[in-house]
Amino acid sequence: MSDSPLFQALISGSLPARPGAPAQPSARRSGGPRPRSGRIPLVVDTDTAADDCFALLAAALHERADLKAVTIVAGNVGFAQQTENALLTLELAGRDGDVPVHVGAARPLVADWVSATDVHGEDGVGGQRRTGTTEVDSEHAVDALLRLSRAYAGELVIVAIGPLTNIALAVRRDEEFASRVREIVVMGGSINGRGNITPAAEYNIYVDPEAAAIVVGAGFPSLRFVPWDPTTIRDTVFDAGRIAEIEALGTRLSAFFVQANKATFAFDSAAGIGGSTHPDSLSVLVALDPSLVEVERPYRVGVELRGELTRGATVFDWRSDAPNATAIERVHGKAFFRALTAILTSR
């Protein structure tokens, strides 16, 4: 892994500038002590498409969230499109120009990028486009993560809902990074060994398993997994009836949701799941509202890097007396639906 040119370049302490990046940041950067408001200083690290967008709406609009930044990582759809999707989502939330968007690693540490356009559609938002002109911030995502971890040491919560490349690079750049983060919630993995990109691997981990291995071994004070199986495909499925309820809200955000969700709904329904799944939204909301969690257990989590059939699989060892994470195994599905619906009703 250390021989990867991208890995060497990104951990060298001088991250390469993104081609075409503005010379000056166009959105306010967060810094300084946290206001004593009871809100949670939050970063969402995302490969923005479909449910990632809905998660970002929750982070931008929830009363308990103090969203400091959005960081973009290679994942679901084309990298530039993911950035556009984040800017679109913040525009719809009324937070464009307020919450900075930082681009990060445009490919995994070692392997080639694998898209999920078959799940989310070519652009991940059903052809919707923003009207504003807000640009991304010139600061690299990894630098932003390190800066915010220092400014909000012991308080910062990171919700990682894409591959873990940016988080792993921050760990490698600064050995104290993990200890400064209060909590990281990772959407990824599968407790029961059921994959959604291969028979054994969940997509976010599979895209960059080397990064995931770095993160689970980094020593974060609180590392929480929201796994795809069983939690997502049991507790966060929105069937046709729930989609109709959301459409009936008649808000700008509900219309955005329905259009952006069409490809995922069709894919998941065809796969026999019974509707669209929303693990990214769940990951943000459980970080903000612990009452949504019904069952959460400690595990020793490992990531398979070499298996011919199992590369990217996560191993959740319930027998270990040295857990390094917890996994959210069951949530209150109806309460989750109400919480996300409240966000979609707000604008």
d(CA 286, CA 95): 22
Q: What is the pLDDT of residue 143?
A: 99
Query: In the numeric block, which tokens belong to residue 181?
Result: 């983060």
Q: What is the pLDDT of residue 6?
A: 53
User: Is 56 part of any domain?
Assistant: yes
d(CA 231, CA 333): 10
User: Is 287 part of any domain?
Assistant: yes
User: Is 31 part of any domain?
Assistant: yes
Q: What is the DSSP string of 66-90?
A: EEEEEEE-S-SS-HHHHHHHHHHHH
| CA 188 to chain centroid | 9
Q: What is the DSSP letter of 52?
A: H
1: pLDDT strictly greater than 50: no
What is the number of residues in the chain?
A: 347
Residue 288 corresponds to which amino acid?
L
Banded pLDDT at 4 (limits 50, 70, 90) = low
Banded pLDDT at 136 (limits 50, 70, 90) = very high
* Percent of the chain with pLDDT strictly greater than 90: 88
Characterize 55-94 residue by residue with b for buried, 16 or more Cβ atoms within 10 angstroms of its Cβ, and e for exposed.
bbbbbbbbeebbbbbbbbbbbbbbbebbbbbbbbbbbbbe
Cα separations in angstroms, 92 against 74, 100, 217, 344: 23, 15, 37, 11
257: pLDDT strictly greater than 50: yes
224: pLDDT strictly greater than 80: yes
> What CATH number has the domain bearing residue 103?
3.90.245.10
Q: Which domain does 156 fall in, by range?
A: 5-15+27-345
Banded pLDDT at 12 (limits 50, 70, 90) = very low
pLDDT in tens, 75-132: 999 999 999 999 999 999 999 999 999 999 999 999 999 999 999 999 999 999 999 9
- Write the burial class of residue 124 (CB in 10 Å: 0-12 exposed, 13-18 middle, 19+ buried): buried
Average pLDDT over residues 188-209: 97
Q: What is the pLDDT of residue 37?
A: 61
User: Is 22 part of any domain?
Assistant: no
Q: What does the mean pLDDT of the chain come to?
A: 92
Q: What is the DSSP string of 138-157?
A: SS-HHHHHHHHHHHTTTT-E
- Whole-prediction pTM: 0.91
Cα radius of gyration rounded to whole Å, the chain:
18
Q: What is the pLDDT of residue 38?
A: 87
Query: In the numeric block, which tokens belong to residue 62?
Result: 């929830």
Q: What is the pLDDT of residue 81?
A: 98
d(CA 339, CA 153): 28
Question: How crowded is the C-beta side of 167, counted as CA atoms within 13 Å?
Answer: 39
170: pLDDT strictly greater than 80: yes
Angle ∠(194,200,201) on CA atoms, nearest 5: 95
User: Is 21 part of any domain?
Assistant: no
Number of domains, the chain: 1
Query: In the numeric block, which tokens belong to residue 166?
Result: 């940016």
Question: How crowded is the C-beta side of 234, counted as CA atoms within 13 Å?
Answer: 14
Banded pLDDT at 277 (limits 50, 70, 90) = very high
Residue 109 corresponds to which amino acid?
L
Q: What is the pLDDT of residue 21?
A: 41
45: pLDDT strictly greater than 50: yes
Average pLDDT over residues 172-177: 98
pLDDT in tens, 280-291: 999 999 999 999
User: Is 84 part of any domain?
Assistant: yes
